[in-house]
């Protein structure tokens, strides 16, 4: 009798990048074998010397590169309407103020989102999610923040959850009530923050719709003192926080986020050394968003060398949103991370797998090791550099989410 270990799926002949070696994230194992049972990895390593498996199905990878499924850790994927007209007007010379006065900008997305039902938002956002999935994404974070009142924020978060039910992908939801000031609170940002922290957040958390809490800390967003009130409310509910920080100016938001043990601080073009040190000490991930940097024609780079020197883990995400990053390709985001931010191939790969997982507070995705989810991408390439190098194209050969 053979002592074969039974499993559901066995992948053979893979060129595996398991992302388990922090020092060498791009380390590859040739002729590797991966086994999954009940959606989780039971083995990922060299084929030679692996246990004998009795598999319900075997998939020959024929030397293809296999990585963990990609993780997009910062998106505003769910929203109503389009801002293409605003883009066109701005190309023709309209200023941000003119666009806003003509009813454009973030408030136009708020109006379109408030007018939409859960089904409407699922219908409008589903193709964006399908696009991400076609790039090998198996987990996506989706923020609220275009509803800006309890009912519409709830609708957004329900739509995000519904998308995760409708498509084969894990969705994590983030409450971003403190994204922008809705018109009904004009001149009363503190009153709106009261509503966000003491009405909206507790209600949505009680409904199980909130995995994390985010805010936009900026002159055109909310002050550090206002953000802190949101963070205190999150802490009281036991929810992790993250922050849009130092995108347009330095309000020391990253240090504030680090004080609250934030999972990540995001954007960070204007981050200073004190913020970097605080993030390093707190283990806060730097989530860089080159799509927004590109689309807004930003010229100040995030302090990559200093982040590296301090050992802050770097993630990359699409920031998919209608105003500043209408981007759904995480592969293109990796290319931008390399070309615009000068990240290495290994850094880009870690940035959309293991570091992106950490930015979501997860250690069961973003790497392939016994016990992690069997979320994996099989690529029609043999080198990680190919994934970062290309602009366009669909190098994904097959994608598995929880072993399926």
Chain residues that interact with ligand DI6, rule: CB under 6 A? 106, 109, 179, 216, 244, 247, 292, 321-324
To ligand DI6, the closest distance from the beta carbon of 398 in angstroms equals 33
Rounded to the nearest 10°, the torsion over CA 175, 180, 182, 183 is: 180
Compare residues 200 and 349 and give the one whose CB is closer to ligand DI6: 200
Number of Cβ within a 10 Å radius of residue 261: 13
Helices within 84-223 (DSSP H only):
84-91, 96-101, 106-114, 118-134, 150-166, 189-195, 201-206
In the bound state with Fe ion, the residue whose beta carbon lies nearer, of 86 and 319, is 319
Minimum distance of Fe ion from residue 87's CB (angstroms): 17
Least separation in angstroms between CB 140 and ligand DI6: 17
Cβ-based nearer residue to ligand DI6, 45 or 221: 221
Using rule CB under 5 A, residue 218 touches Fe ion: no
Between CA 333 and CA 353 the distance in angstroms is 13
Which does residue 323 bind out of ligand DI6, Fe ion, none, counting CB within 5 to 8 angstroms by kind?
A: ligand DI6
Q: Residue 277 and residue 275: Cα distance in Å, rounded?
A: 5
Q: Which does 324 bind (CB under 5 to 8 A by kind): Fe ion, ligand DI6, none?
A: ligand DI6
124 binds, among ligand DI6, Fe ion, none (CB under 5 to 8 A by kind): none
Minimum CB–partner distance for residue 100 and Fe ion (Å): 18
Cβ 327 to ligand DI6 shortest distance, Å:
12
Q: How far is the CB of 216 from ligand DI6 (least distance, A)?
A: 4
Closer residue to ligand DI6, CB minimum distance, 106 or 254: 106
Sequence-separated (6 or more) residues with CB below 8 Å from residue 336: 290, 291, 293, 294
| Shortest reach from residue 319's CB to ligand DI6, in Å | 7
- Interacting positions 296-335 with Fe ion (CB under 5 A): 319
Which residue's CB comes closest to Fe ion? 319
Q: Which is nearer to ligand DI6, 249 or 382 (CB)?
A: 249
Residue 173 Ramachandran class (φ > 0 left, ψ -120 to 50 alpha, else beta)? beta
Reading the block at residue 165, the tokens are 């039910």
Distance of alpha carbon 299 from alpha carbon 145, whole angstroms: 26
Q: What angle do CA 338, 378, 31 make, to 5 degrees?
A: 105
Closer residue to Fe ion (CB): 195 or 319: 319
Query: Residue 67 binds which entry of ligand DI6, Fe ion, none, with Cβ cut-offs from 5 to 8 Å by kind?
Result: none
Q: Say how many residues make up the chain.
A: 404
Instruction: Give 168: exposed, middle or buried? Use CB within 10 Å, 0-12, 13-18, 19+.
Output: middle
| Alpha-carbon gap, residue 108 to 369, rounded angstroms | 45
Contacts to Fe ion by CB under 5 A: 319
């Amino acid at each position: 009798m053979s002592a074969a270990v039974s499993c559901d799926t066995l992948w053979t002949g893979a060129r595996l990048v398991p992302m388990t070696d922090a020092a060498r994230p791009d380390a590859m194992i040739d002729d590797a074998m991966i086994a999954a049972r009940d959606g989780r990895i039971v083995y990922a390593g060299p084929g030679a010397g692996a246990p004998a498996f009795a598999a319900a199905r075997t998939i020959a990878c024929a030397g293809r590169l296999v990585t963990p499924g990609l993780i997009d850790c910062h998106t505003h994927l769910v929203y109503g309407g389009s801002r293409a007209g605003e883009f066109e007007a701005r190309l023709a010379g309209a200023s941000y103020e003119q666009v806003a006065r003509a009813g454009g900008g973030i408030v136009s997305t708020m109006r379109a989102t408030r007018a939409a039902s859960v089904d409407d938002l699922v219908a409008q956002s589903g193709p964006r999610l399908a696009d991400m999935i076609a790039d090998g994404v198996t987990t996506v974070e989706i923020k609220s923040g275009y509803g800006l009142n309890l009912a519409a924020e709830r609708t957004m978060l329900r739509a995000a959850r519904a998308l995760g039910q409708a498509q084969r992908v894990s969705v994590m939801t983030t409450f971003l009530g403190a994204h922008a000031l809705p018109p009904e609170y004009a001149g009363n940002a503190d009153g709106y923050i009261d509503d966000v922290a003491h009405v909206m957040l507790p209600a949505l958390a009680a409904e199980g719709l909130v995995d994390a809490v985010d805010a936009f800390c900026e002159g055109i967003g909310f002050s550090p003192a206002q953000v802190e009130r949101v963070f205190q409310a999150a802490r009281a509910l036991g929810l992790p926080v993250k922050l849009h920080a130092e995108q347009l100016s330095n309000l020391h938001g990253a240090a504030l986020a680090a004080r609250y043990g934030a999972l990540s601080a995001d954007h960070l073009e204007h981050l200073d050394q004190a913020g970097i040190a605080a993030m390093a000490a707190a283990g806060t991930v730097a989530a860089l968003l080159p799509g927004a940097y590109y689309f807004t024609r930003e010229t100040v780079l995030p302090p990559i060398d200093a982040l590296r020197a301090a050992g802050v883990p770097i993630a990359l995400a699409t920031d998919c949103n209608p105003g500043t990053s209408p981007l759904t390709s995480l592969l293109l985001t990796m290319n931008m991370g390399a070309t615009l931010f000068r990240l290495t191939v290994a850094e880009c790969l870690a940035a959309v797998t293991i570091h992106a997982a950490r930015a979501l507070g997860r250690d069961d995705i973003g790497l392939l090791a016994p016990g992690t989810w069997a979320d994996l991408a099989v690529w029609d390439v043999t080198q990680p550099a190919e994934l970062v190098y290309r602009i366009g194209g669909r190098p994904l050969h097959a994608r598995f989410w929880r072993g399926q």
